[in-house]
Structure 1
Amino acid sequence: MPQEIGWAGIIITILIIVAVIYLFKYIIKQIKYKPYDIKTVPLTGDKSFMDKGMKAIVGLLIFSIVLNFFIYTKLQKTENEVKNLRNNMSASYENLNNSISQIDRYVSSRLDEFVNDNSWVINEEFIIDYEKTTNKEVHLDFQWSFNEIEESAKVYLVYSDEIDKYEKKEAIKQDSGMYKTSLILFPDKEYKYKIMSEGSVIKATEEKEIPEDYYKPGRIEISGMSYEESNGYLQNFAIGVTQQGNLISGLYKPEKLQLVINYKNNEKEISEFQLESESLFTNIWSANIDSFKDKTESIVLEIKYENGHIESNEIWPEDKFSEKLKQK
């Protein structure tokens, strides 16, 4: 429609230009004497030519009026169509808005059935499967019981190592009444979980973290360090090291801890740690150096784990070992 109106406007413009040119030629034709002095222009001329010219001009004007009326009619029709389209769009928007409101009310009513409640889950227990656990992954059994639960409800453990990405595992009811499922966890990740039951009502606990002690290595930290200097020379050095956490043999337990003493004369000396105490979740070592052979350049703490991994970093004159732990 806009394209048709555009062409009509062009045609009208051309017709008006033609009419003006035709009228101008007619006037020039009538001027026979002193064309620039209007007083000397005779009013006589070729009457047949004048009649034809006037008829042509009148015809063009009539055609222009008819064409303008046609364009006006088209514009009115277009305006009515736009109004109808606008009304239809408004009605569609209202219908869509009503539909969204109905969906929102439905979802809200369904969410009301989802009850977050921790009081109904009791006796949670994580158990490490030492036979299946390797130096790359931890096999963990998780079991729990309920204060009360719907007889036909299915029970799930929902856990994740990333935000908003969950894995759902069904828990099996044991003869003891406990529900149990198994997980495979990796030490370089962090896990969250919640327990869910699905019956006539959906219930779930709040999201909690799986304790890192069950799948991450116990971090070794310097629990204390002291030394004496005189004239730029170390006189003595004492250090205590503690490892707390899950200490599974072959994955987390150090095989050897030692101090590597680097002297200014490029010589080295090794001083090994002594294990002070050992348990499933805490190991403590200590090392004491009463004297040094020469001026000391640096002291490095070196840890060799049973799985072959070696970790080392300077602890004197700068404690780079502890600084590295802070960055983890």
Structure 2
Amino acid sequence: MTSASPTPAPSVSPSSAPSTAPAAPAGSAPGTREISAVLAERWHLPGAVVTELPGGMNSLTWHVGHRGAHWVAKAVPEGGPERPFRYGLRLAALAEAAGVPSGVPERAADGRLTARARGHVLALLRWVPGRELNGADPGDLARLGATLARAHLALGTGTVSGDRARASFDPAAGGREAAYAVRPWIRPALAGAAARLRRVRPETLTWGPSHGDPAPEHFRFDARTGRCGLIDWGAAGHRPRLYDLATAVLDAGGPDGAGPLLRAYVEGGGLPSEEIERGLLPVLDFRYAVNTLYYADRVARGVTGPEGPGGNEERLDDARRWFERRAGGRAG
């Protein structure tokens, strides 16, 4: 498969993830039978066994089996989620070419990477074998850091203007005024986070194509081959590498236990340790700010995910504790 150049990047800022796009109305998303029909027509896979997979807050996925081969079909709503999804397909090809199994898209019979299915954009992704990484296991954290560094090196770097960098790291850029009223600590905590990030001068960080959500569950370690892959590129964008690293650290339980991850990432050449020491905590502030507004907005709108209402509250409590710690107990 010929990999595409990673530039130009879509205008996806760090603050755009996770997506707050409303879910498609019930009944408007493609079902298993419709996906089977599209796969038969566009990818020439008649009779494929299609099974819906659980999870996915902003996408739909299915396991596809056909004559002993396996894929994942993934669909996102047309519109806002479509641009990072398409960009992520290109980045996955670059990472795969550098030796990181990434679930690259299979071209349809007409040579295209995607097809349309009831208001959604559908891609057929190569199956990546292996288990998810465990964010509490030191060995897995080291694998995560090394794999993320390898992916970043494959994706390269890019430039950003000072104005664009500063605007990208404004948690309030997306509006969501109602989210600030959900808890009294949110506004002062996010104001403090923004001030700390301004002092870092985000335009001085290393920017480039990024995965956007390198959580442990998006890595696949194949014990048979010893290879570790990185899948689920639907949040891809042009960001500082520290954004991806901070996301991985956050999902691994925070910086206190992320030593193996950070060491492996530095040893793999992802970033110099000086940049991580200077910028990781302020960018973690921003990641917690993004999560705060996302889950507070869900509370304000009465939206719940697979975990029910408790999932929103748990994430907000995690963010509150982080900001209290960063502000010396003054955020609450």
TM-score above 0.5, yes or no: no
Richer in strand (by share): 1
The structure with higher relative contact order (CA 8 Å, sep 6+) is: 2
TM-score, structure 1 normalization: 0.20
Richer in helix (by share): 2
TM-score, structure 2 normalization: 0.20
Q: Higher Cα Rg: structure 1 or 2?
A: 1
